[in-house]
Amino acid sequence: MDGEDRRDGLLVVRCQLGEREAFGELVRVWHDPLRRYVCGMVNSSHLADDLVQEVWVAVLRGLPGLRQPDRFAPWVFTIARRVITDHLRQSYRARETPVEEAGDVVADGDSLGAVLTTMQVEAGLDGLPPLEREVLVLFHLQDLPLTVCAEVLGVPPGTVKSRLYRARRMLRGVLVERGYEA
Amino acid sequence: MSGENPAPGREVPEELRRALAAEVSLASRMRHVVVGVMGGCAAALIAVLWATEPQPLPTRTQAAFAGLIAIGLAWAVFAGWVLSRRRPLFARDRVLGGRIALAAALVTGVAGTALAAARAGAGVTLGIALVGLCLVIASGTALLRARSRHRELLRLRDALSHEDPRTP
């Protein structure tokens, strides 16, 4: 367990004990990353605030049952993903536009990933479909390792790789279209 | 984990802070514990009164007893739902809630047995005493489990605190 995992683990254990001041600390530490993730997925600041609040409520309600305090990061992003998915599903249902699960196409040797900057990713996110957008947010904006992304998304690491590959290609297309240099 | 864990960021919005403070409120949890325990105990005592009536009761009185028992049980079920879904108890809350439940079970058990002894025969009194004993054992077991979980988390917190040089 590294220092940050330990810090999160300690905060989570203090919350599970019922130390009320630890909740504020936990929220202060994790609010920005969660908001960034949600903002990247829904493209609306007000909606993101509502969804982040929903995520926090679910997190606080689920904390007593969390058995591995050091696994807080994947757990909290999984909850955030579920909240966002529920929201997107409702809005798609309203528009009657299905979301298609993409196939597993593992691709290696993708060089674009190495040169993507945070600004580039953020600039092109709104032009991507949800599946590709969320994998870029988790991997590039939240810097989650591939295995943790896989855990959050509930798919094998190979699928994460293929989604990343596809997402980067799509992002490149979006950025080129908007006048950025590929 | 690598670099995903953030340093403390900007201030959390006040609205969110207030919503989350209400979400983790100890008072709200204890209110629901008390409501649930009182509802259950009241239903049990009314049931004892009904069961130890020496004469058969008129239908309307029976309906009133049944209604009161149903109301008490409904409060207990409602509190149980809130405490399992909306306001789950944290370790310290569980210990506190366990103590409240044990005290209430003891009082209900003794009061129910005393009522039965004063109003009914030995067989009914023994049955009610046994039910009271079961209630006390159940709440005592819940308290023991809560204390064990609390101790386990305290040990874990101490271990992590000693490992974390940034913790005061």
Q: Which pLDDT tens digit goes with each residue over B26-38?
A: 999 999 999 999 9
Residue B78 pLDDT greater than 90, yes or no: yes
Chain A nearest-CA residue for B147: A17
Mean pLDDT within B159-164: 80
Strand segments, DSSP code E, in chain A are none
Q: Which pLDDT tens digit goes with each residue over B41-69?
A: 999 999 999 999 888 889 999 999 999 99
Chain A nearest-CA residue for B23: A57
Looking at per-residue confidence, does A112 or A27 come out higher? Answer: A27
Residue A180 pLDDT greater than 80, yes or no: no
Q: Under an 8 A CB cutoff, do B4 and A65 touch? A: no
Q: Under an 8 A CB cutoff, do B9 and A28 touch? A: yes
Q: Cα B81 to the chain's mean position, in Å?
A: 11
Mean pLDDT within A115-140: 78
pLDDT at B8: 52
pLDDT at B165: 55
pLDDT at B37: 96
Q: Which two tokens stand for residue A107?
A: 């691709």
Mean pLDDT within A111-135: 72
Please give, rounded to a whole number of angstroms, the shortest distance from the CA of B147 to a CA of chain A: 11
Q: How far apart are CA B22 and CA B25, in angstroms?
A: 5
Residue B1 pLDDT greater than 60, yes or no: no
* CB proximity B86 to A under 8 Å: yes
Is the reported ipTM for this assembly greater than 0.90? no
Residue A112 pLDDT greater than 70, yes or no: no
pLDDT at A103: 40
Interface of B with A in 92-121 (CB under 8 A): 92-93
Mean pLDDT within A44-66: 91
Residues 6+ apart with CB under 8 A from A64: A16, B88, B89, B90, B91
Mean pLDDT within A160-176: 86
Mean pLDDT within B85-103: 96
Residues of chain A with Cβ-Cβ distance to B148 below 8 Å are: none
Q: How far apart are CA A1 and CA A150, in angstroms?
A: 19
Q: How far apart are CA B97 and CA A18, in angstroms?
A: 13
Interface A-B, measured as beta-carbon pairs within 8 A, has a size of 117
At A96, the pLDDT band (50, 70, 90 cuts) reads low
Residues 6+ apart with CB under 8 A from A174: A124, A127, A128
**Distances from the Cα of A119 to the Cα of A43, A126, A165, angstroms:** 15, 13, 18
At A116, the pLDDT band (50, 70, 90 cuts) reads low
Looking at per-residue confidence, does A46 or A178 come out higher? Answer: A46
Domain ranges of chain A: 3-95, 112-177
pLDDT, averaged across chain A: 81
Q: Which pLDDT tens digit goes with each residue over A30-42?
A: 999 999 889 888 8
The tally of CA atoms less than 13 A away on the side-chain side of residue A143 is 9
pLDDT at B4: 46
* CB proximity B145 to A under 8 Å: no
Residues from A in contact with B at Cβ < 8 Å: 2-10, 13-20, 23-25, 27-33, 49, 52-53, 56-57, 60-61, 63-65, 69, 73, 142-145, 148
Percent of chain B with pLDDT over 70: 91
At A98, the pLDDT band (50, 70, 90 cuts) reads very low
Length of chain B, in residues = 168
What does residue A123 show for φ and ψ, rounded to 5 degrees? -65, -30
Domain A3-95, classified CATH 3.40.50.2300, yes or no: no
- Select from B16, B83, B63 the least CA-distant residue to A49: B16
DSSP at A64: G
* CB proximity B22 to A under 8 Å: no
Tell me which architecture the domain covering A112-177 has in CATH.
Orthogonal Bundle (1.10)
Please give, rounded to a whole number of angstroms, the shortest distance from the CA of A89 to a CA of chain B: 23
